[in-house]
Amino acid sequence: MLSQVLEAVSTCGTNALANALERPDPGEKMYRLAELSDSRRKMIGGALLTAGVVGIVLGVIWIHWSSIPKTEVIDGVTLPVVVDYLDWWPRGIYWKAAGYLIVLGATTFTLIGATFLWVLNQTMTWARAAVAAFITFIALVFYFGMVPSEWLNFAQTDLDWSSQRDALIIPPWLVLGNDVSINYAAIKDSIQMGYSLGLLGFAGILAIQIQRMKDGRPASAPSVEKKSPYGRPLVKGS
């Protein structure tokens, strides 16, 4: 019985490895963006840009109202905080965190939508290159500047991840009888560092894949029948 189980596990592992080796390079699929028609490119870009702008507005309002405390102390008495007609809005750190995630996703949609509308598959003039550079600048400022800053502020204030609170105390017998602990501030900074390093690697990979987008359809990809602007297949005359 044990030998059969080991044989099955070995077979599954071999098949998984073979599938991974045969799987096409993700970069080979970048050519599909270069083959988008203008109408489809504008439709996707407009939808993403609209959804992104609406999401940013909603996310900012969400963060603002969810940051209002539920109670306040007046003359030693704890009283509920009533916010007029928006008192029904959910409040608390978890709802505030959800607002941050909404803004993160919406900003991503906005940047991708703008790229689809004004950069993708367009003749690269000086003006269009300036637009592409501006979109890239906004992306770098947002992902490498604003996101880490807001995370550090949120963790420091709302979550109270300060250096005064210990998150983990290492048993003395593991550190030669010394008192060693890891505080929440170290965890907070480690998360930020991991995010920045991972995002930097992703940005490098994305830049390489963008450069490969114009390489054309690879030989391994299925051929697509060319069609006229009216949707009819193109036939080469004799």
Secondary structure letter of residue 166 according to DSSP: E
**Cβ-proximal residues to 182 (8 Å cutoff; 6+ apart), any chain:** 166, 167, 168, 169, 170
Q: Provide the residue-wise pLDDT of the chain in tens; the chain has 238 residues.
A: 434 433 443 444 444 434 433 444 444 466 677 778 888 899 999 999 999 999 999 999 999 989 888 777 777 777 778 877 777 878 889 999 999 999 999 999 999 999 999 998 888 899 999 999 999 999 999 999 999 999 999 999 999 999 888 888 888 888 888 888 899 999 999 999 999 999 999 999 998 888 887 776 666 666 666 666 666 666 665 5
- Which pLDDT score, from 0 to 100, does residue 46 have? 95
- Which pLDDT score, from 0 to 100, does residue 29 have? 63
Interstrand relation of 77-80 and 166-170 (parallel, antiparallel or unpaired) = unpaired
- Which pLDDT score, from 0 to 100, does residue 6 have? 37
Q: Where are the domains of the chain?
A: 31-215
Using alpha carbons, select from 113, 94, 110 the residue that is nearest to residue 44: 113
